[in-house]
Structures are given as structure tokens and as C-alpha cells.
Structure 1
Amino acid sequence: MTKSTKPLVSIILLNWNGYEDTLEALESLYQINYPNYNVIVVDNHSTNDSIDKIEQYAKGNIKFETEYTMFHEENKPIELIELTEDELDHTVDYTSTEDQKKLLLIKNFENYGFAKGNNIAIDYTLKYDKPDYVLLLNNDTIVDPDFLINMIDVALTDDNIGIVGPKFYYYEYNQSHNKIWCIGNVVDLKHYPGHHSIMEEDNYDLSKNVIDCDWVSGAGLLIKREAIPEDYLDTSFFFGCEDVDLAVTVRKEGYRIVSVMDSIIWHKVGMSRHKSSTFHTEYNHVKTNLQFIKKYNKNYYKDLPRYIGQIFKLYVRAIINKF
């Protein structure tokens, strides 16, 4: 497998005060079996020492070992290119090769949230790198070495495939006891939060390798360049649903969205949201989901009492389970 035979993929990770997760994610990325990719870390104005830790990691000065990822000293140092938000007006060479791993670090001036933070990197890579695909990847994920090649192989089978997602496992259950977090997702505007995992359906067939779905999680979302909307991710969503909204937009243009069973990612579910207070997290979670439903449900105000009732039931169930 030579580099020239495979599409260029730009991989984007968003970091905000989470360098421990980011470094583990990067280490797994630099061990994948794919020959043509570049990696962008967007730091959303971290207030801790994330920048310094990423710099030290690239030099090979931070060594760690986890159940999922062994530190590979042979691919260090990683060539690090750093650009601030106002320096993104020229091209730089940061495509990794077998002999030299590279990393572009974009330093934002504010915490712009998921959508705008990723949009800054999407805009840069589309303008200067012209990748065939862009991969949005949560920094609290670990990837299987074959995850990307398996995604790409499926994507190339059909020009109408616009978005590809993996099979997500919970990170917490470790590799020897894999437990599925989600496989594909369904948009259902009749019920709050308007979307759910396809795994909740009784008729799900695990024997299929490629599953058509309504959307895939932004924790690991591969999108074809031609399918990317002109305005990228909707920045009015600050706390979730950006990925659902993106998929709805892409599907309206006639593209397929699929999940690939032999593309594996382990996800530390909810790590970014755990950085906020419980009340703040839950309030914004509800607000954002209702925002998404309102955008696409023409009968939103008529159905609002039903949504509120469903939210109330969820809270009661959570309280009961807690005790």
C-alpha cells in the first residue's frame, strides 16, 4: 500500500484543558495503518498547560503507557508546527509520512465550542491541503490501527457515501471486555432528544459490516470533501447536536451516511462535559437538544408539552437509579 494510492485525510482533534486525553489519542493515531493523513490539534484557548504538554509530547519527553496504547519512541520526535488563529493565511507542510510524523497545532484565542473550533481547522485544511476527506475525532478517543483504512475502503465503494462512522466501544470497559457505546444513529423528532443510537432498535443486525443510518457521532466522523456544507458546522450549536445537524444537511443533498463495523474507536464518553458543573451540563444538554428539534420539527410548539414530559420522565428515572 503506497501513499499515492490512498486519499488524503485531514484528522482534526479539539483540545480544551484536556491534554492527558489528547496525548493518548495522538499516540494511537500515530500508530494507524494508513499512509496518507495529516493531524491537526485545535487548542480552544486552554487555561492549563495543555500547549506545553503537547510540545513536550512531540519532542518525546512525555512517555506513558495505557491499556490501549503503548508509547512508541521510534516515531518521536514529531515535527510540530504551531500557528495562532491569526496566522492561518499560508500553507505549511504537516502531512505525516512513515519516516516522519508531523502535527499542526492551531492555537485559538477563545473557547469557541465544538462547532467553531473545528470550523477553523476545516477552513484551513480545505483551503491549503485540499484533502479528499476530513475526519472529526474527539480528543477523548483511542483508535484501532485499522479504523481509518476500513472507513476509507467503505467510502470508496460508493460515490454517494458522504459520511462514515465507526463502531464505538466504551473506553472504560477496556479492550478485553468491549461494550458497544453506539453504532450509527437515528433522527426521531417525535421524541426528546430527537435522536438516538441505532443500537436501541430491536431489529439491529450485528452481522452486517456496513449500516445505513441517519447520522454518526462527531466523536469519530469521516466526511467527504464534496459533502461538507458551505458553512461547515452550525455554530449556533455550542453544546452538542452539531454532528446531528451536519448529517441532516448532508442527507438532504442526497448523500448516504453509514457506520462501519470493523472500524473501531474507544470513547471516554462524556469526558468534555464532565468538566462543567452537573446543573450547567444538564441545562445546556436539554437546551441544545430542544434547539435541534425546533430547527427541524415544524410542529415544535405544538409538541413541546410532550417533550417536556419526556424530559421530566428522564430526570425521575435518573434520580431513581441514583438511589
Structure 2
Amino acid sequence: MIKYPSVAIIIINWNNYEDTEKCLDSLKMCNYPNFKSIVVDNDSKDGSGLALEKKYKDFSDFIFSETNLGFSGGNNLGIKHAMNENYEYILELNNDTEVEPDFLNILVESVDNRPDYGAVQPLIFYNTPNRHLIWNGGGKYIKALGLSITKFKNEVKSKKIYPSDTEWITGCAFLIKSKVLKKTGLLREFYFFGSFEDVDLSIRIKNQGYKLWFEPKAEIYHSVGSSSKTKVKGKEGFLNPQFHYLTQRNQMIFINHHTPTIFKPVAVLTQVIKLLAYSLYFLVLWRPIKLKMVWKGFKDGLFKTYHD
């Protein structure tokens, strides 16, 4: 690579010093010469934001939100800071990830001289001891059903995985050109939690005439669910019922915004069938709050109005 466009890496911290520390330590090993990490502390109550600032103040910019803005709002706070500083690229990166030293070089190089591409994602593995099992390798989108499908999930890394176009990019590691983001607008904050705002943004990028790229030579590792799970199993399991509410609510919001009217009844019916299966699962395990919340999410997302 002859030139190194400036990159701002946005990382959200919320009561999670350990994961954010690992993420920043891995970024310190990154050999791309022109990037800045921006940590947005989402109103942490455990002092983790201040502790991270004390340790990494010479490496990262820190922004402290007075309220928990969620994944989308927190990222937008960092994105606005980055755009005011005129960074050419913005990378949304989950705080529970660790990266290979060359990942950013590879990502930027894969799209920088291709004006028809607006964003790119790496190959993402589960952050397990052997790091060989794939979590995300790009995505497919079924417009008629409003469904986003993750490619290569739970497959072992293979030489048969090639760089390719992708239909949506995960918010776990979403590198976008700033000039494209100025056209699409920021993440939609009514999604709040980390589900479907990435697919939504991907579609808005494509609606502006840009393509999306998946670059498997760039590799990172994701500790999946660490920000959503409790460390101690409760009556409702490890996952907070609010997780199920927001995930299902966001799915229905997404369908309302992006599924053509003619296909919407089929998309809604597909979700009902899925939720009936979930309901049986929650009843067998006796998760009554999760059962209630997942149906509440369905109803709220389908019938309430959500706009920018």
C-alpha cells in the first residue's frame, strides 16, 4: 500500500474493563500506521471507563456519555467525533474482539482504490483457545422475508473461502468510508442494541449505489455474547430477557422498514413460526420472563412507529 488513509476505530465500553482492555492491547500491536482508537464509555457504573482512560490515554481518545446510548447511539457519538476530525475511514469494532496485527492494512487496501465499494468486513472467528471456528464470514439477505443470514458460521477455516461481495456487514467489525457515511446517515438509534442496525446500514449503503466487500485475509476474534451474558446463571439462564426483547423487536422494526409491502405478511408469519418454536423452548426450560419479553418485542416492533 502506497498511502495510508486515516482510520478512526470506534469502541464502546459499558461496564467491561477486561474485554475492552484486551481489545485495545491487540490494537496496540496493529501495524497500520495511521489510525486512532476512540473509546466511548456508555455511562459505565463500575469505573471501567475512567480506569481505561488512565491506562490508555496516550493511545486512545475517550468520550464519556452521560447516559447509556446503546450500541447505535454510542457508536454515533464516536462517529461524530471522528467525522469532525476528518478521518477518511471509520471502523465500528466490538470491544469483545481481538485483532491480528495486519487486519487493518488488509481491510483498507481491499477497498481503498475501488470507488464502487463503500464498506468491508473481515473474517471473524470465535475467540476460543484454538481460534479455528468461524463466527461470521459475510452475510446473505432475503429481502422478501426480512432475514439476514450469516455465511460460514460454525465452519472450520478453509482455503476455499475467497474474498467476495457480501449482502450485509456485521457491526462487530464494520469498516466504512466516511464519504459514504455522509450520504447514508449514521446508525439508526432506535435500534439501540446491537442487532439489525448493521444490516439496516448495509442496505442503506447499497441503496446509495455502493457494494459491500468481505475480505477473509483480514482476521479478528470475537468473544461472542460476553457483553450480553451474566457471569452467574440465574432463573432465566445467562442471557438477560431484555436481550430477547430487543432482538425480536429490532427484527420486526427492520421488516417494517425494508420488506416490500407485498411480502410483509409472509415475513411476519415466518417470525410467528419462529417464535412458536422459541416459546416451546422457553416453556420446557421454564423461562417465563423470556417468553413474555420475546412476544412483547414482536408486538412492539411490529405495531409501534420508529423513525430517525
Q: Give CA deviations for 1:12-69 in whole Å, capped at 9, x if unaligned.
A: 00111111100110000011110000110000100111123203423xxxxxxxxxxx
Does residue 246 of structure 1 match 2:244? no
Q: Name the structure 2 match of 1:49.
A: 47
Contact (CA 8 Å) 1:23, 1:57: kept in 2 or not? no
Q: Pick the aligned partner of 2:176 from 223, 226, 240.
A: 223
Q: Which residue of 1 aligns with 2:65?
A: 108
TM-score w.r.t. the length of structure 2 is: 0.81
Distance 2:282 2:218 in 1: 32
Cα distance, 1:259 vs structure 2:
0.9
**8 A Cα contact 1:191 1:310, kept in partner:** no
Percent of residue pairs bearing the same amino acid type: 28
1:143 equivalent to 2:99? Answer yes
C-alpha root-mean-square deviation of aligned residues, in Å? 2.6
State the partner residue of 1:292: 254
| Aligned counterpart, 1:70 | none
| Partner Cα separation in structure 2 for residue 296 and residue 199 of structure 1 | 24
In the TM superposition, what are the counterparts of 1:1-323 in structure 2 within 5 Å?
5-58=3-56, 79=58, 102-127=59-84, 129-171=85-127, 173-174=128-129, 176-191=130-145, 194-199=147-152, 207-228=160-181, 229-239=183-193, 240-275=195-230, 278-297=240-259, 298=261, 299-301=263-265, 303-314=267-278, 316=280
- Determine if contact 1:133/1:225 at 8 Å carries over to the other structure: yes
Q: Please give the per-residue CA displacement for 1:229-272, whole angstroms capped at 9, x wherever unaligned.
A: 45311111112211110000000111110111111010011222
Aligned length: 274
TM norm structure 1: 0.78
Q: Which runs of 5+ in 2 are unaligned?
A: 231-237, 287-308
In structure 1, give the amino acid aligned to 2:83. Answer: L
The whole-number CA distance in structure 2 between the counterparts of 1:319 and 1:223 is 42
* Structure 1: gaps of 5 or more residues: 59-77, 80-101
Q: More displaced, 138-147 or 232-241?
A: 232-241
Q: 1:320 to 1:154 in 2, by over 3 A?
A: farther
Contact 2:43 2:66 in 1 (8 A): yes
Give the Cα separation in 1 of the matches to 2:152 and 2:239: 29
